């Protein structure tokens, strides 16, 4: 019979025996399998849905919770956790909510971490109930940018569409709204191709570099602060606190947007919407770095796109920083634990002083925050800092790098336009520019401060190189930090905007600094400049100590070449920038991104395995802009914060988007 080989034949005559005879072993296995499958279907849900007896909503909640945790643990389910590192990454590694105790299962931090994980889960639950999730802005095209020159708001460019929360498509980006919005010429924020084919090709190369760096970060460190592009894992520096706050994402947003990398921008935007949450922070972070990278990055993204998500996140984060300003003078502390509002200074900073380049680099972001929110608190904070700085008597007219936030007295007599001082000077001229030329106090302070620096610290080497020395207890140290290379751009910007009797001298100094910083690059076999360089009898523009020979993807030299290109149109600045591109490709490009190098004087330098977040915000952006047409982020309409995040100029930029109720405060 056709079925006889498969189906058993039951005989009533002698049941057991007959069954044993009738069922062959293959058939028995089959029956067993069918039975087990049936049992699994009936009983399985009891194991997967322990709250089965509860209502439907309990079950949905639980599934949601499991789903959220699975989603967060995604990479760890597929990839094994990286080996434990000594030092900053610690023995217990947190991977998006999953904690790996890499060394000791009895580590006391483990229970702490478990508790935080529970808090995180509960918090997620709370947020899910409380927050109305906004519909994300959807840019409809792929990452290929429009290849037709400048994108102009007001003209419908079909290739770049943004959807607003109600779903209607807007042209290019959101039109400014409100009666206080400046109606000026329409800012060019994408496109801006140069007419020179070589520049166009070079700009494409820079974009390719950005994509390489972004993809590495996305693959191996998504949501972490930074990427280790050689060992392919996340990295976090102390300035960001211990949690994963996606510093790279926030620092990269505006660069991705300007380059028309819409797909990547949208990935970043979604991460900001669903994951950027400073309520999660439990450790100290730098007030200055949080302001220039997070607040600045989000404010730029808001200005460029008009998307309120970015404005609201910037406000949320800036408010978290406010307890740091609760000092007798209003000069903020350097570090804050945003979970409990406890703030303090670095112990090494001149007896616990605050640092000039940190408390003096808040003005652009805070003034703008007040204007776009209508909340005056931010502007009040920075105006108070400015008052204290102005009134404190300066030794020999120089601003020392340290001030005690309790007494308002200056600390050690150390003045520098490099580390510890740099962006304080930068923000004076830029605050004046941002105000549309109305912030007279900022102008006066800039002219005075830079006047003294010019007289006392601007030097010429034996061979005629212009450099900026430092002053330590009234003695000159003939050393210039890579950080100080930004000052060429600052001098040039000041000269062009102030047009005072010192303008031509300042322009000369700017050219000199741009050249000296280039020399510091050109005098190395790598073509990249050291962290600091010195001027002595026998050596110029070279690092002398081994601790000064590294390069960590810093932008300052390129930044100055960018300003000089815009203001002079001398093609050498583009050539120097291109030289830096080639050097970055040769020595810093790693399989998963870009890394700093340990010694610029080696033919084959070791990589430091860190992709600093500022490579996106600054290095790549300035490179891209130097090979673009001047109309893209015009310097008449935009002012760059110290992390190269563009902020609109009041009165000259339609994207200023002042809140309706605020009046001009300058």
Does 363 contact ligand DMJ by CB under 6 A?
A: no
* DSSP secondary structure, 393-434, as one string: PPGGGPPPSEE-TTT--B-SSEE-SSTTTHHHHHHHHHHHHH
423 binds ligand DMJ (CB under 6 A): yes
**CB nearer to ligand DMJ: pick between 248 and 262:** 248
Beta strands in 579-637 (DSSP E): 589-590, 593-594
Name which of 116 and 554 has its Cβ closer to ligand DMJ. 554
Q: Is 225 in the site for ligand DMJ (CB under 6 A)?
A: no
Site map 461..500 versus ligand DMJ, x via CB under 6 A = ----------------------x-----------------
Q: Is 327 in the site for ligand DMJ (CB under 6 A)?
A: no
Least distance between ligand DMJ and beta carbon 516 (Å): 17
| Measured distance CA(541)–CA(529) in Å, rounded | 9
Candidates 269, 363, 554, 621: give the one binding ligand DMJ (CB under 6 A).
554
> Is 531 in the active site?
yes
Residue number with CB closer to ligand DMJ (554 or 587): 554
Under rule CB under 6 A, residue 643 binds ligand DMJ: yes
- Here the tokens at position 508 are 């000369």
Name 632's Cβ contacts closer than 8 Å, sequence gap at least 6: 150, 188, 189, 190, 191, 192, 258, 625
- With tokens 């994408």, the residue in question is 190
| Residue 445 DSSP code | H
> Which residues in the 588-617 window bind ligand DMJ by CB under 6 A?
614
Q: Shortest gap between Cβ of 422 and ligand DMJ (angstroms)?
A: 6
Catalytic residue chosen out of the listed positions 531, 540, 559, 643: 531
Query: Dihedral angle at the C-alpha atoms of 116, 121, 125, 126, nearest 10 degrees?
Result: 0
CB atoms within 10 A of CB 548: 17
Mask of contacts with ligand DMJ, 384-413, x by CB under 6 A? ------------------------------
SS (H, E, C) 203-232: HHHHHHHHHHHHHHHHHHHCCCCEEECCCC
How many angstroms separate the CA atoms of 646 and 364, rounded?
A: 10
The widest CA-to-CA distance across the chain, in whole angstroms, is: 121
Region class of 420: left (phi > 0), else alpha (psi between -120 and 50), else beta? left
Residue with token string 């730029």 = 300
Least separation in angstroms between residue 336's CB and ligand DMJ is 18
Instruction: Write down the least CB distance from residue 643 to ligand DMJ, Å.
Output: 5
SS3 295: helix
Query: 305 and 174 in contact (C-beta within 8 Å)?
Result: yes
**556-568 vs 572-583: helix crossing angle, rounded to 10:** 150
Phi, psi of 161 (to 5 degrees): -120, 140
What is the closest distance, in whole angstroms, from the C-beta atom of residue 552 to ligand DMJ in the complex? Answer: 7
Say how far apart CA 75 and CA 97 lie, in whole Å. Answer: 11
> Which residue number, 488 or 555, has a Cβ lying nearer to ligand DMJ?
555
Question: Measured from the CB atom, is 190 or 286 closer to ligand DMJ?
Answer: 286
Q: Which of 642, 646, 652, 655 binds ligand DMJ (CB under 6 A)?
A: 642
Toward ligand DMJ, which CB reaches closer, 157 or 470? 470
Closest distance to ligand DMJ from the beta carbon of 522 (Å): 20
423/653 with CB nearer ligand DMJ: 423
What is the C-alpha separation between 258 and 190, in angstroms, rounded? 5
- How many residues at the interface with ligand DMJ, by CB under 6 A? 7
Residue nearest to ligand DMJ (CB): 642
**Which CB sits closer to ligand DMJ, 290 or 353?**
290
CB of 497 to ligand DMJ, least distance (A): 20
- Point out the residues that are catalytic: 531
Would you tell me which residues interact with ligand DMJ (CB under 6 A)? 423, 483, 554-555, 614, 642-643
């Amino acid at each position: 019979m056709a079925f006889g080989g498969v189906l058993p034949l039951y005989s009533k005559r002698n049941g057991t025996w007959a069954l044993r005879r009738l069922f062959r072993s293959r058939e028995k296995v089959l029956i067993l399998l069918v039975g087990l499958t049936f049992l699994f279907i009936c009983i399985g849900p009891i194991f997967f849905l322990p709250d089965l007896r509860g209502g439907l909503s309990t079950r949905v909640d639980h599934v949601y919770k499991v789903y959220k945790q699975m989603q967060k643990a995604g990479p760890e389910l597929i990839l094994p956790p990286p080996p434990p590192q000594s030092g900053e990454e610690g023995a217990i590694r947190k991977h998006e909510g999953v904690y790996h105790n890499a060394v000791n299962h009895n580590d006391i931090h483990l229970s702490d971490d478990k508790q935080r994980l529970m808090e995180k889960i509960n918090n997620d639950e709370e947020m899910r109930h409380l927050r109305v999730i906004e519909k994300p802005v959807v840019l409809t095209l792929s990452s290929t940018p429009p290849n037709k020159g400048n994108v102009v708001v007001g003209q419908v460019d079909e290739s770049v569409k943004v959807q607003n929360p109600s779903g209607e498509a807007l042209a290019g980006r959101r039109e400014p709204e409100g009666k206080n919005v400046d109606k000026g010429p329409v800012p060019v924020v994408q496109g801006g191709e140069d007419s020179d084919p070589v520049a166009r090709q070079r700009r494409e190369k820079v974009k390719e570099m950005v994509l390489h760096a972004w993809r590495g970060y996305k693959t191996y460190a998504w949501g972490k602060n930074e990427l280790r592009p050689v060992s392919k894992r996340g990295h976090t520096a102390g300035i960001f606190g211990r949690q994963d706050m996606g510093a790279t994402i926030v620092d990269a947003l505006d660069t991705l947007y300007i380059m028309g990398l819409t797909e990547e921008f949208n990935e970043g935007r979604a991460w900001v919407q669903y994951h950027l949450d400073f309520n999660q922070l439990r450790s100290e972070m730098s007030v200055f770095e949080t302001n220039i990278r997070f607040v600045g990055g989000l404010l730029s993204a808001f200005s460029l796109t008009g998307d309120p998500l970015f404005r609201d996140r910037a406000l949320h984060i800036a408010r978290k920083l406010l307890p740091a300003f609760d000092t007798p003078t209003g000069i903020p502390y350097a570090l804050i634990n945003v979970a409990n509002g406890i703030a303090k200074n670095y112990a090494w900073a001149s007896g616990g002083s605050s640092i000039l380049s940190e408390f003096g680099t808040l003005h652009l972001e805070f003034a703008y925050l007040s204007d776009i929110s209508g909340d005056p608190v931010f502007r009040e904070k920075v105006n108070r800092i400015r008052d204290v700085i102005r009134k404190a008597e300066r030794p020999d007219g120089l601003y020392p790098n340290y001030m005690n936030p309790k007494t308002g007295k200056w600390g050690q007599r150390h003045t520098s336009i490099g580390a510890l001082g740099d962006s304080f000077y930068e923000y004076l001229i830029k605050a004046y520019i941002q105000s549309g030329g109305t912030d007279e106090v900022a102008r006066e302070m800039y002219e005075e401060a830079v006047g003294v620096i010019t007289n006392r610290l601007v030097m010429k080497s034996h061979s005629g190189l212009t450099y900026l020395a430092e002053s330590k207890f009234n003695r000159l140290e003939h050393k210039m930090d890579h950080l100080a290379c930004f000052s060429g751009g600052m001098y040039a910007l000041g000269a062009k905007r102030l047009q005072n009797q010192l303008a031509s001298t300042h322009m000369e100094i700017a050219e000199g600094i741009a050249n000296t910083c280039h020399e510091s690059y050109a005098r190395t076999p790598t073509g990249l400049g050291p962290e600091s360089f010195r001027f002595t009898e026998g050596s110029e523009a070279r690092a002398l100590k081994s601790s000064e020979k590294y390069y960590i993807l810093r932008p300052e030299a390129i930044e100055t070449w960018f300003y000089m290109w815009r203001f002079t149109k001398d093609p050498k600045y583009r050539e120097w920038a291109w030289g830096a591109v080639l050097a970055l490709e040769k020595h810093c490009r790693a399989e998963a991104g870009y890394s700093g190098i340990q010694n610029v004087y080696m033919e084959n330098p070791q990589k430091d395995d860190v992709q600093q977040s500022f490579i996106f915000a600054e290095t790549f952006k300035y490179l891209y802009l130097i090979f673009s047409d001047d109309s893209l982020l015009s310097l008449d309409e935009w002012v760059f914060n110290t992390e190269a995040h563009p902020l609109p100029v009041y009165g000259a930029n339609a994207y200023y988007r002042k809140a309706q109720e605020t009046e001009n405060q300058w």
